[in-house]
Structure formats: C-alpha cells, structure tokens
Amino acid sequence: MPHPERPYNRGHYIRLLLNVGDLCIVNIIFFIALVAFGIANINMEGQGSRVLWLLVNVSYLPMISWTLGRRHAYRAITLDTVVRTSFAEGLTHALVFLSLNAFLHVGLAGRFYIFYYALLFCSLAVFRVLANYMLKAYRRRGFNFTKVAIVGTNATAERLYASMRTDAGFGYRILGFFEDTQETTFCGTDVFSIDKLEAFVVEKQIRQIFFTLSGQSEALARVIKIADDHVVDFYYVPQIPRTLSRKFELHTIGPLPVLSIRHNPLKNVFNRIVKRIFDIVVSGLFLCLYPLIYIPVAIAIKLSSPGPVYFKQERTGYRGKTFMCYKFRTMRMNNNADKMQATQNDPRKTRVGDFLRRTSIDELPQFINVFRGEMSIVGPRPHMLIHTKDYTRLVDMYMVRHSVKPGITGWAQVNGYRGQTDELWKMERRVEHDVWYIEHWSLLLDLKIMVRTVLNAIQGEKNAF
C-alpha cells in the first residue's frame, strides 16, 4: 500500500547534514588526538593550536569537493562503497592537511598524525554506515522519496522496476510507465501513452525519468527534451540481456562509449596494492608464530607414516601460471596424488591427516605461498593441473577464476562448495561463486570470508575431508 504524499525534496538538506557530520567528526577526533597526546595547549610561535585548528578545517574543503560529485547516487549505495568513500574522504583530508603543515612549517610528531588519521578513518566509516542505515530507515517510513517515471514496459523496464522495489530504503516512488506503442504485455497498472508524459511530469512533479526503450527509438529525443525543459534527471537504461547481468565498466573509444562486461575491481592498481599489503601483513604475522604450529604437526605427521612433512603439488595460479602449492602431508605416499581428489573415506589418509583436513590445519603452510606472492589469503582455491585441463572444456567461465591470485580460502568455500567435486554441478557452483567474488571484491568482503572460514573451522565442515 503506497505511503501518503509527504514532502520529498529533502536531498540537499541530507547532503548538508552529512557534510556537517563529517566536519564535526574531523574536529572532534582532532581534539581527542590532542588530548590523548597531552598537547591540547600547545604553543607554536605564540599562535597556539589555533593554526592547526584552522588548517584542519581548511583541509576539509577539498574533502567536500571530492565527495559532493559522488553523492548523487547515494540512494542505492552499498556498504562497501560507503566505507571506500569514507576512506577516500579521510585520505583527501590527510594529503591536504599534511601538505599545508609542511608548507607553513607547522605540525606535530609523526605518531600524532598516524593516531589521528587511523581514528579518523574508522570514525568516518562508522558515521557513514550509521547515517546510511538511518537514512534508509527514514525512507522506509515514506520520507525523502524521489518521484520516478519509467519510459517503456519491456523486460528491461520490469527488471528496473523490480530492482527499485527490492528495498524501500532506496526511496524510489514509481508513479507511472509510458509506452510509445499500444502493444504491450506489461501486466502492471498506470501505463500511459508517451504523449502524456510531459503533462504527467508537470502534474506529478516527477524528478527522475528512466528510459528503457531502444536507443534508436524516435521517442528518445522527445523524452530528453521533456526532461531538459522541466529540469528532470534523465537516465538511459540499456537493454542488456539477463545473461550479461553483472557489473559493467564504461570505457570510450573516441566519442563512442563501450561497456566491459567483466568487472574486476582488482584491475585497479590501488586495490591490488591494498590487497597485497593486507596479504603481506597478515601472512607475515602468522609466519612469526608458525613454528608453534609446525613443530607439533611435523612430529605427528612423521610418526603417522614415512615421508616428508610437506606435500608439494603444482597447481594452476594467477593467469594460468603454475606454482608449487604447500600443504601439510595428510596421506601415505602414493602415485595418485596428482590425479585423484581425496574422498570421505579415502584409504590413503592417515589418522593424523584426517584430523588436519577436518580442521583445515593442512592448508596453513600456504601462508608461505601468500607471503611469496603466489597466492592471496582470500581467492578462488587453486586446482590440480589435470582439473584445469578437464574443467576448462566442461565448465563455462572456468578460467575466469584465474584472473586473480588463488586463495587459502574463498567465497565458494565458505558457502559450502569445498572438497570433492565428484559431480559436474558442484564445480559449476564453485566457479559461479568464484566469479561472483572476483566481480564484487572488496577488503570488507575478504574480512567477512576470513571470519566465516574461522567459524566454519571451529564448527567443523562436512565437506572437509
């Protein structure tokens, strides 16, 4: 049941509140940092802390300009985008503030700024997440909505309609559909002739028009003119089939826009650097404690059966290149290790090996591969070479999973797709989850997968054998 009509043009007030909130956090955290370091009453050439207070606030101005242009799509913003934007805001402030400090020869010790910006990044992210949650709750109560008209009643229009209605927190109020032909299979209500669009825009105070018809349609120019004449936001929605329903990247060849259907955030150099730094830090810290795990496990393996402590096997890695993957040996020495996957009651497993597999301890040596740069902590699991050869022919998008570094754990594994792939559909589901991870990568997603991996290991997994 639709909400009663309420004032909806509050977007500029909300953006103002968000900016005021940012500015308050910048100043509050700066004060907290001064107090924490016992320098709230510092005196620099008689000017005191007023110079730094002024620079802190002046440095916020570029921070506003960086973010204002990106807040136009704040309605359907995702959590990871909120956090990335917060980090970018803080980084922008840091670059400007530290540059002004250096230019004016003022400032404090380096550890002060490390403390300040670490706290600022976290505070901005928390504020943004809470603000986004409260804003969506506010919209669900019928406030801050934007009135929308959709031109077209085709499959693209229906998908757009369904996406907008997925979450009332987006605040889209769809008031009507418009078609340039009388022949339509659209089963919804409020379908009008496109000739009535202009009068409808004026009467209903439409703020956004979404055009879903073909770009060659004669209606396109008419609708754009209506939007321009009445200062309405116009959005063109391309007719992309469901088989290509994923994130896209927009490029240009001369004046012609082209869409890349394979979105991979890790193509971005900054994202790759962030992921690599995270891998080095985590794997480095783990390897410092590694002897505490290695020594008892090595003794148990040696006592369980003759052979080396490590099982080394060539696996398919980044961009299809092979690398030597390390694991604790869990089986007796055999000639089928490079051909056969482990099964639930595999006679090749030792009693110690069975325990190592069920608890995923056998995978821990792969932190060595991570530190060396051959693997990442999170990513698609590396497969045996024979599997790469076979499944490349049998499973669509199989090699796409090698467009990032393989991981110790991954999105497929925490969703139950690990262990033996004795049926083709199991590998297909695994590949689908791996490709989804690649196209939706974020550092927050990596952290989520790591936490779920630890919880699964504690609880025990039925497919870990």
| pLDDT tens sequence for the chain (465 residues) | 344 444 444 556 777 788 888 889 999 999 898 888 877 555 444 445 678 888 888 888 877 655 554 444 456 566 667 777 778 888 888 888 888 888 877 767 788 889 999 999 889 888 888 888 888 888 888 787 889 999 988 888 888 888 888 877 788 888 989 987 766 666 556 788 888 999 999 999 999 999 998 876 678 889 999 999 998 999 998 887 665 655 677 777 877 878 777 778 898 888 999 999 999 999 999 999 999 999 999 999 999 889 999 999 999 999 999 999 999 998 888 776 666 666 666 678 888 888 888 888 999 999 999 999 999 999 999 999 988 988 998 998 899 999 999 999 999 999 988 777 778 888 899 999 999 999 889 888 999 999 999 888 887 666 555
At 285 the pLDDT is: 95
Helix intervals (H) in 151-268: 155-164, 197-204, 219-229
Instruction: Label residue 429 left, alpha or beta by phi (over 0 means left) and psi (-120 to 50 means alpha).
Output: alpha
Distance CA 301, CA 361 (A): 12
Of residues 465, 448, 461, 278, the one with CA closest to residue 373: 278
Neighbours of 236 (CB within 10 A): 14
Q: Which residues contact 23 (CB under 8 A, 6 or more apart)?
A: 57, 60
**pLDDT value of position 3:** 42
- Nearest by Cα to 155 from 237, 235, 261: 237
pLDDT in the model for residue 75: 60
pLDDT on residue 69: 47
Give the integer Cα–Cα distance in Å for 264 and 344: 35
Work out the widest C-alpha separation in the chain, in whole angstroms: 85
pLDDT at 351: 87
The pTM is what?
0.60
Annotate 347-402 with three-state secondary structure.
CCECHHHHHHHHCCHHHCCHHHHHHHCCCEEECCCCCEHHHHHHHHHHCCCHHHHH
- Asked whether 345 and 369 are in contact (CB, 8 A), the reply is no
pLDDT of amino acid 73: 43
Q: Are strands 310-316 and 322-328 parallel, antiparallel or unpaired?
A: antiparallel
Q: What is the pLDDT of residue 459?
A: 77
Q: Quick one: the chain helix, strand, coil %, rounded to 5?
A: 55, 10, 35
Q: What is the pLDDT of residue 246?
A: 59
C-alpha 366/C-alpha 376 separation (Å) is 9
Token pair in block for residue 161: 């309609």
Position 245 scores a pLDDT of 56
Helices then strands, counting H and E runs in the chain, come out as 15, 11
Q: Under a CB-based contact definition with an 8 Å cutoff, are residues 120 and 23 in contact?
A: no
**CA–CA distance, 159 with 213 (Å, rounded to integer):** 13
In eight-state DSSP terms, residue 260 is E
What sign does the CA torsion over 307, 308, 311, 312 have?
Answer: negative
**pLDDT at residue 8, as a whole number:** 45
Amino acid at residue number 93: H
Closest CA to 29 of 101, 110, 93: 93
pLDDT of residue 189: 64
pLDDT of residue 46: 44
Which pLDDT value is given to residue 7? 41
